[in-house]
């Protein structure tokens, strides 16, 4: 009753385990893994690759042993060739024995091979705004009620500045970041803290009127914007691509029409304020534009601990 195809199962499993190990290792090595998951998850994925490698090593051992050792009679049904299972032979169907149906097996291994095949055949690609049409870009601080306990942030900053950035306890971190930005000559929207800076700018939009800002991002348009307006944005990833969403700033320029959707540009301009979905947000009056190349990793990632690094 020995399954004659056991060797095929062992080999396929070994190949799949090695395939995933290799694929994840490749993505981690080239840095392209950031197109799939956020940086804080990378170390877990690397650990997973190590785990898969270990699985593969043991699978190799099981494969070799299945060729050299006779299987115990009671357990000839599957790769579960351990004596401890002999006691289970009454009414115990093993939970992970290979099925004998060729179609089912082909399907099962196919499901594992499919992602590897896709990984090998199709290039990794990053997405800009076209992926999220019509859902609306995040340009504002999320709707809050009336702040309950406005207070100045602690620390020995200029009291006048602290008065400008009064905040409730939920906004305190953004107030600190806002004060930092306020003191800069040119507010640079770089990859790091893109989302956090955007929140800080919008939470205290009035304070930043007249300031100069420089931002690189892609062009995005949505209904309700004027002829001379567009949104310059970045895609933010929290965990994986399934959760990416766009964050951006409304920009105003007489040449707005000349920019194609999804094109990458670097803008410099002056901050004013406007209202978007009932909230006060910042707006850029563009003074200078130049085309930019899309970054290899075009995503920005939220930094939950940004306040500690200020």
Partner 1 sequence: MQETALRKKTLKSNSYLVAGASLAAMIVLYLLSTEDPGTLLHHSKLQIFKMMFVSIIIEAMPFILIGVVISALLEVFVSERTIQRMIPKHPILGIVAASVIGIIFPICECGMVPAVRRLIQKGMPLYVATTFIAVGPILNPIVFWSTYTAFRSRPDIAYSRMGLAFMTALILGLIVYRFVDPNQLRQQEAISGQASSHAAPSPVDKSAVAPPLGQRLLEVMNHAVGEFFEMGKYLMFGALLVGVLLAFVGKESLVEWGQGPVSANVLMMGLGFLLSLCSTSDAFVAQSFLTTFSGGALVAFMVLGPMLNLKGILMMTAVFKARFVIVYSSLVIVLVYGGTWLLEKLWLA
Inter-residue contact 168 to 147 (CB < 8 Å): yes
CB of 78 to partner 1, least distance (A): 8
SS3 label, residue 112: helix
Residues numbered 45-84 forming contacts with partner 1, rule: CB under 8 A: 45, 47-48, 51-52, 54-55, 58-59, 61-62, 76-77, 79-80, 82-84
Q: Which residues face 11 on adjacent strands?
A: none
**Residue 26 token pair:** 């490749």
CB of 211 to partner 1, least distance (A): 24
162 lies in the binding site for partner 1 (CB under 8 A): no
Among 307, 279, 309, 304, smallest CA distance to 204 is for 279
Measured CA angle at 156 (ends 154, 158), to 5 deg? 105
261 lies in the binding site for partner 1 (CB under 8 A): no
96 lies in the binding site for partner 1 (CB under 8 A): yes
Options 37-45, 156-164, 265-273, 290-298: segment touching partner 1 (CB under 8 A): 37-45
Alpha helices in the chain (DSSP H): 6-30, 39-68, 102-121, 159-164, 172-182, 194-203
111 lies in the binding site for partner 1 (CB under 8 A): yes
Residues numbered 195-224 forming contacts with partner 1, rule: CB under 8 A: none
Rounded to whole angstroms, the Cα distance separating 49 from 46 reads 5
Total residues binding partner 1 (CB under 8 A): 87
Which position among 153, 165, 171, 289 is part of the footprint of partner 1 (CB under 8 A)? 171
Which position among 68, 95, 255, 258 is part of the footprint of partner 1 (CB under 8 A)? 95
Given the complex with partner 1, which of 125 and 156 has the nearer CB atom? 125
Residue 108 CA: distances (Å) to CA of 17, 122, 199: 14, 22, 46
Given the complex with partner 1, which of 46 and 188 has the nearer CB atom? 46
**Residue 140 token pair:** 């504002």
1 lies in the binding site for partner 1 (CB under 8 A): yes
CB of 288 to partner 1, least distance (A): 31
């Amino acid at each position: 009753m020995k399954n004659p195809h056991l060797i095929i199962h062992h080999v396929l499993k070994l190949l799949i385990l090695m395939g995933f190990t290799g694929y994840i290792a490749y993505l981690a090595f080239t840095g392209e893994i950031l197109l799939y998951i956020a940086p804080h998850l990378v170390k877990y994925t690397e650990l997973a690759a190590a785990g898969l490698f270990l699985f593969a090593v043991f699978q190799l051992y099981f494969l070799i042993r299945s060729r050299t050792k006779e299987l115990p009679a009671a357990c000839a049904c599957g790769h579960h060739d351990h004596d401890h299972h002999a006691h289970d032979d009454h009414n115990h169907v093993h939970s992970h024995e290979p099925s004998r149906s060729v179609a089912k097996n082909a399907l099962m291994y196919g499901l594992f091979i499919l992602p590897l095949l896709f990984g090998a055949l199709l290039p990794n690609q990053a997405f800009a705004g076209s992926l999220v049409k019509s859902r609306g870009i995040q340009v504002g601080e999320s709707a809050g009620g009336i702040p309950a306990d406005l207070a100045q942030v602690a620390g020995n900053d200029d009291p006048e500045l602290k008065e400008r950035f009064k905040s409730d306890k939920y906004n305190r971190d953004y107030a600190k970041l806002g004060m930092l930005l306020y003191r800069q000559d040119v507010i640079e929207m770089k990859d790091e803290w893109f989302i956090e800076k955007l929140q800080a700018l919008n939470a205290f939009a009035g304070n930043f009127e007249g300031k100069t800002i420089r931002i690189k991002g892609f062009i995005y348009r949505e209904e309700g914007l004027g002829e001379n307006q567009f949104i310059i944005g970045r895609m933010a990833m929290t965990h994986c691509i399934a959760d990416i969403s766009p964050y951006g700033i409304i920009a105003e320029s007489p040449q707005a029409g000349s920019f194609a959707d999804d094109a990458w540009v670097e803008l410099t301009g002056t901050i004013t304020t406007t209202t978007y979905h009932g909230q006060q947000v910042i707006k850029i009056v563009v003074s200078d534009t130049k085309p930019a190349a899309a970054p290899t990793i075009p995503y920005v990632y939220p930094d939950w601990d940004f306040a500690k690094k200020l």
